[in-house]
């Protein structure tokens, strides 16, 4: 509530200035895309950076505060607030540094360890990474920021069973998309359908003939074949690094990657296989990420 009051106070000052200048004062808008996640504040069409205060104090909460930092990892990469056990476990990792900036920061610091663990978590694998692979491997393109966010929210649940159920429903509904149906029309033969999917994904799989045979004899459906391809080791090997890079933009910066930066990080990972820490450090301590909060 105090954060909202402070935002209103700042807005009132801005409105007074606008009126003094003979301009129409924009209105404050509170945008809530998901009631389970924090709202966004806009002054007209400009996003307002809220002032967060510790309850009962005038102490600001910033991205340098461990509790806020951990919460943001859950929101940005898992599309939910943290559960108590997970939150406390990650706080224990950060608190072990006792506030030492050399322990917390840097490429090998605790913050990088905590943050990169969210991309590598099983929950992210069956949520964000799944959504990414559906777009990239079946449609041949990166999802937009609104698309990746909407997809992750669609497969987010309160329990593991609910997440799995929502994931299965999300995959089942994918072939009914207009862009998918246009790319893979029902008129395609079973062989042509499998080969078109593999061509878009840019991979060769060892079970190609078995997938086609399964479609022919009814033991597979076009949806099950799609799922087996996007979850194949070949697609994972091809897309893991590109997805890791893309999610830095979606998660930390809340936008799509620009081609220059995206390609530069991919080039770096190809030259330094497995060095995700350096990339995560680059985003966590980037001015764009820090100024977002």
Residue 292 has pLDDT above 70, yes or no: yes
Q: Answer whether residue 57 is part of any domain.
A: no
Same domain, 182 and 233: yes
In a domain, 44, yes or no: yes
- Give the structural domain span for 70: 66-115
Rg (CA), the chain: 22
Residue 209 lies in a domain: yes
The number of residues in the chain equals 293
User: Do residues 122 and 83 both lie within one domain?
Assistant: no
CA 140 – CA 133 distance, rounded (Å): 9
Is 191 found in the same domain as 90? no
- Answer whether residue 100 is part of any domain: yes
On whether both 87 and 144 belong to a single domain, the answer is no
Asked, for residue 36, whether it belongs to a domain, the answer is yes
pLDDT of residue 57: 87
Beta strands in 32-117 (DSSP E): 40-43, 46-48
- The CA distance from 44 to 251, in Å, is 25
pLDDT in tens, 5-21: 444 444 444 555 454 55
pLDDT above 70 (res 2) = no
- Asked if residue 255 and residue 147 are part of one domain, the reply reads yes
Same domain? For 154 and 275 the reply is yes
Q: Do 178 and 273 fall into the same domain?
A: yes
Whether residues 101 and 140 share a domain: the answer is no
Q: What DSSP character marks residue 103?
A: H
- Asked if residue 230 and residue 197 are part of one domain, the reply reads yes
28 membership: H or E segment, kind and range: strand 28-31
Q: Is 60 within a domain?
A: no
On whether both 96 and 10 belong to a single domain, the answer is: no
Residues 83, 21: one domain? no
The pTM score is 0.84
**Residue 22 counted as domain residue:** yes
Number of domains in the chain: 3
pLDDT tens digits, one per residue of 40-86: 665 677 766 677 788 888 888 899 999 999 999 999 999 999 999 99
Residue 27 — very low, low, confident or very high, per pLDDT cuts 50/70/90? confident
How many other C-beta atoms are found inside a 10 Å radius of the C-beta of residue 105?
A: 17
């Amino acid at each position: 509530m105090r954060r909202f009051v402070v935002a209103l106070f700042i807005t009132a000052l801005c409105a007074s200035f606008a009126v003094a200048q003979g301009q129409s004062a924009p209105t404050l808008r509170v945008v809530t895309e998901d009631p389970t996640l924090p709202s966004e504040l806009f002054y007209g069409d400009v996003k307002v950076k809220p002032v967060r205060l510790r309850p009962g104090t005038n102490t600001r909460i910033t991205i340098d505060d461990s509790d806020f930092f951990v919460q943001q990892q859950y929101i940005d990469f898992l599309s939910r607030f943290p559960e108590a056990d997970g939150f406390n476990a990650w706080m224990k990792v950060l608190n072990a540094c006792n506030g030492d900036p050399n322990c917390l920061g840097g490429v090998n610091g605790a913050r990088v360890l905590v943050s990169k663990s969210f991309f590598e978590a099983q929950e992210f694998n069956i949520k964000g990474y799944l959504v990414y692979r559906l777009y990239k491997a079946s449609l041949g393109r990166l999802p937009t920021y609104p698309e990746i966010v909407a997809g992750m929210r669609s497969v987010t649940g309160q329990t593991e069973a609910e997440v799995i159920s929502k994931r299965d429903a999300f995959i089942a509904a994918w072939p009914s998309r207009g862009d998918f149906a246009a790319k893979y029309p029902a008129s395609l033969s079973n062989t042509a359908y499998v080969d078109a999917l593999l061509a878009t994904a840019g991979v060769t799989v060892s079970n190609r003939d078995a997938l086609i045979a399964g479609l022919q004899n009814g033991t597979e459906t076009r949806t099950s074949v799609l799922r087996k391809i996007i979850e194949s080791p070949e697609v994972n090997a091809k897309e893991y690094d590109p997805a890791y890079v893309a999610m830095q933009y979606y998660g930390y910066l809340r936008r799509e990657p620009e081609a220059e930066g995206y390609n530069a990080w991919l080039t770096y990972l190809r030259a330094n296989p497995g060095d995700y820490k350096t990339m995560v450090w680059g985003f966590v301590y980037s001015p764009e990420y820090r100024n977002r909060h």
